[in-house]
Amino acid sequence: MELSGKNVVVTGGAGLVGSHLAGMLADENDVLAVDDLSKGAREAVPDGVAFEQADVLDPDDVARVIDEETDVVFHFAAHTDVRVDDPQAERRVFEENTEMTYNVLERMREVGCDALAFTSSSTVYGEAPRPTPEEYGPLEPISIYGASKLSDEGVVSTFAHSYGIQSWVFRFANIVGPRQRGNVIPDFIQKLQDDPGTLTILGDGRQEKSYLHVADCAAAIRDVVENAEDDYNVYNLGSKTTTAVVDIADIVADVMGLSPSTSSPAATGAGPATCRRCDWTRRSSLNWATTCPRTATRRFGARPNSSTTSSGSGGGDDAVRPAPSLRRGAPGSDSKARRRRSTRPGRGPTTRRRTCGSRLRGRSPSPSPGRTSGRRRSARAGSRPRRRPRGTPRRGRAGRP
């Protein structure tokens, strides 16, 4: 579907991904951003994008913003609380996410709008034991948020196959960028602005995730919608590498020109650090390829000796300045940070081998293909030779029967 000259509706248009995508599409399309502003900010909506405050839970509001002139809907509105402790709040996350998606699809069917892009989440994979392609199954989410997204995917699939609404579903990794709240990067920046000498890291800091910059995310969404032609299309979106929380802490401190001591309060009932890894092969088959991983550290307002937090407007010179990479050893990463990581108390030397973005700590790399490990060589050297069955003549070297 060519995204040019279209009437576009973006629900959640004042949020992180929605506002960036709306701004990207506004040059060639008429874009309407829809948001109830419960979490989004009106000032996040870019110039050139129309705005309507509306609640997607209300069918009347949905009918007001999606009409017969609408060509495509980008449904990004959702409750994004992955961890909630209150059972009533959990029920609200599940029911309202599903209800919003159903309201949008039902209205699209009524007015004849036949194109939907929907933001799901990699949380639908749960604790999958291997890098997960889109066809991986069974899907076993472990959070109510993940369960709600999986339920939404089922509703989207039904409308795609039963009512002809072509759909693109995106399973996100962790999206970072300007105008974001509630993420590890702005959290670290705020902590260091409050106390430049100490940084508290929740857990052991070894948790690894895939991070994708919001500009790359919006570009990927547009590319998939314009090139994937099936009735129902599912794509993982993220970077090929993963980054540990302690590495992000080092990068933020380096950018801010600080050398804080770190503390990690013990987390009760916490299991081993996990890393959710997705398979990005399908996405790579299209025209778009990520320039990530890169961080939004500078764009969040981190400056050397910074004393105030950026408004996150994304404007000014900093909005176009590339930030240092989150990937260890990538251009822009700081060698002092790597030295500091290697000498941090309680952490021994590390040997790493990248496999689908994973990091193996404290283990030697596996042998390269075609080579035999020492264990297998010793086993072969000490094995007993095969015996010739009784009555079988020896075979000579010159000729064989």
φ and ψ of 32, to 5 deg = -115, 120
CATH topology for the 1-172 domain: Rossmann fold (3.40.50)
d(CA 75, CA 56): 10
Instruction: Say if CB 171 and CB 124 are below 8 A apart.
Output: yes
pLDDT tens string, the chain, 401 residues long: the values are 999 999 999 999 999 999 999 999 999 999 999 999 998 899 999 999 999 999 999 999 999 999 999 999 999 999 887 666 778 888 999 999 999 999 999 999 999 999 999 999 999 999 887 778 999 999 999 999 999 999 999 999 999 999 999 999 999 888 988 877 767 888 888 899 999 999 988 877 888 888 899 999 999 999 999 999 999 999 999 888 888 888 989 999 999 999 898 887 654 433 334 445 666 566 565 554 544 433 444 444 444 443 333 333 333 323 222 333 333 334 333 433 333 333 334 444 333 333 333 332 333 344 444 444 444 444 444 444 455 556 655 555 444 54
Q: Is the peptide bond before 365 cis (omega within 30 degrees of 0)?
A: no
Q: Where are the alpha helices (DSSP H) in 177-333?
A: 184-194, 214-227, 245-256, 281-284
d(CA 100, CA 184): 28
Instruction: Say if CB 249 and CB 262 are below 8 A apart.
Output: yes
d(CA 262, CA 248): 12
- Burial code (b: 16+ CB inside 10 Å, e: under 16) for 64-91 equals ebbeeebbbbbbbbbbbeeebeeeeebe
pLDDT of residue 168: 98
DSSP 150-189: HHHHHHHHHHHHHH--EEEEEEE-EEE-TT--SSHHHHHH
The amino acid that residue 190 corresponds to is Q
Q: Across the strands, what pairs with 200?
A: 263
Strands 243-244 and 208-209: antiparallel
Number of CB atoms found within 10 A of residue 32's CB: 21
d(CA 275, CA 256): 27
Handedness of CA 152, 154, 155, 160 (dihedral sign): positive
**Per-residue DSSP letter, 132:** B
The single residue listed with the structure tokens 């995204």 is: 3
Q: Across the strands, what pairs with 166?
A: 115
Residue boundaries of the structural domains of the chain:
1-172
Tokens of 394: 């020896």
pLDDT of residue 238: 86
pLDDT of residue 337: 39
